[in-house]
Structure 1
């Protein structure tokens, strides 16, 4: 049972939640706000529950719709395949999703009672996003593109900063927007191998609507915009210059983009670049975090 729970929770992908919350904590500390270990632990638990819930719901609904039986699975896309191997665990996946979501709601209400009700402006839409992502949002191309990034960038990263610092700074907004762009790109590229299968179950994400090659151009635009935001933040003094450490990821980008465009219409050849994209989505914010720690409290 534990192996099945870990499969539908996709525990190997939960590291992204830890990176986002760690970045928010570092930004709050660098802005001069003392960190509460207990509060940070609770925020991390809520974030992990949110990520587990959306993963488990995705696994459940993709199994029930038949999509899991159509997908050519890769280590980075197409789901875990757990319910294909263990179909009797479908109800367990749904239970995990519901319990995790209830824990998110309970944790959010507790924080609003203890601290402030205002972060509910982020928390409530976040809960709706968790519930609606697989069943509804995947049918709206632009919303499907931005929803994952908004979930991790605005709801998780900015929301965590808000709770930790008690307010939102311009720097926190910039970091949240950068994460939004990176995670939107993460899911965008992971949709490339699934185009044919997703089309059969009625999904309408960007690679289906405009094709993989044009979607690769969108990927490039969002990625360049993330670096533009970084440079703007540093040049304006909103972010410390040490955050320029994140520019070290440009070496990875220089390998990723040519391979992406060359293999955009060859899904079977894309796996190395999907891996590079996952690495980029972790390394970029970790280097931002390192820059904030290097800069020290303002």
Structure 2
């Protein structure tokens, strides 16, 4: 049972949610926020629950549609394969999805009671994205590209900052946009190996609609834009100069971007770079967090 739960929750990928909350925490610390440990714990639980919910819904609906039986699995794309090997446990994925979403809703309503109804502008779109991503958003190319990033950047990260410091200054918005670009690119590249399978179940993302060549160009542009926004934020004093250390993560892009363009249609050759993409995003966000902590110190 526990193996099924961990599989459909994709626990090895939940570090992304933790990294987003960590960045929100260090930015709020830099801004002079005072923290309540129980509040921080609630935000962490809600972030993890939101990530688990979208993963479990994805596992369940991809199993039901038959997509999981068509994809060529990699360690970073094509689902966890949990329900393919244990189809009689599909109900566990659905229950986990709904229960974790319930945690998000209950925790969100508590925070709304504490800090006011404007938090609903963050919470409600998040709930909609969690439930609709696999079934509906994947059929809308532009929305499919940016919805994951919006969920983690403009909703999860900004929502955490709002709770921690009850305000959203320009630097917070900028960090939210940077995270949005990074996470959108994470999902974009993970769609490359699944193009043929996704087409068979009616999905319409950019690798399908525009092709892998154009999608590789979009992938490169979004990452370069994220660095440009960081430099802009420092030049406008929205972020401390220390955050420029995050540009060091760009050393990985020297290898990643050409490799994605070169191997975009070869799943075997591309797979290691799916992993490098995950490492790059985590390194970028961790360097931002460390630099903000240093600036606060």
Q: Distance in 2 between matches of 1:76 and 1:295?
A: 34
Partner of 1:289: 289
Partner of 1:99: 99
Stretches of structure 2 that go unaligned for 5 or more consecutive residues are none
Partner of 1:127: 127
Partner of 2:261: 261
8 A contact 2:193–2:265 mirrored in 1: no
Q: Distance in 1 between matches of 2:35 and 2:223?
A: 31
Q: Distance in 1 between matches of 2:35 and 2:178?
A: 23
CA deviations over 1:217-260 (Å, ceiling 9, x no partner): 00011001100000000111110000011011111000101111
Would you say how many aligned residue pairs link Structure 1 and Structure 2? Answer: 297
8 A contact 2:138–2:205 mirrored in 1: yes
CA deviations over 1:113-162 (Å, ceiling 9, x no partner): 12222111110110011010000000000000000000000110011001
Partner of 2:154: 154
Once the two structures are TM-superposed, the CA of residue 268 in structure 1 deviates from its matched residue by 2.2
TM-score, length-scaled by structure 1: 0.99
8 A contact 2:71–2:197 mirrored in 1: yes
Matched position secondary structure for 2:264? coil
Partner of 2:276: 276
CA deviations over 1:39-59 (Å, ceiling 9, x no partner): 110011011111000000000
CA deviations over 1:78-109 (Å, ceiling 9, x no partner): 00000011101100100000111111101000
List, as ranges, runs of 4+ consecutive aligned residues in structure 1 with deviation greater than 3 Å.
Answer: none
CA deviations over 1:65-88 (Å, ceiling 9, x no partner): 000000000000000000011101
Q: CA RMSD in A?
A: 0.7
Does residue 73 of structure 2 align to residue 69 of structure 1?
no
Q: Distance in 1 between matches of 2:260 and 2:270?
A: 7
Once the two structures are TM-superposed, the CA of residue 62 in structure 1 deviates from its matched residue by 0.3
Matched position secondary structure for 1:294? helix
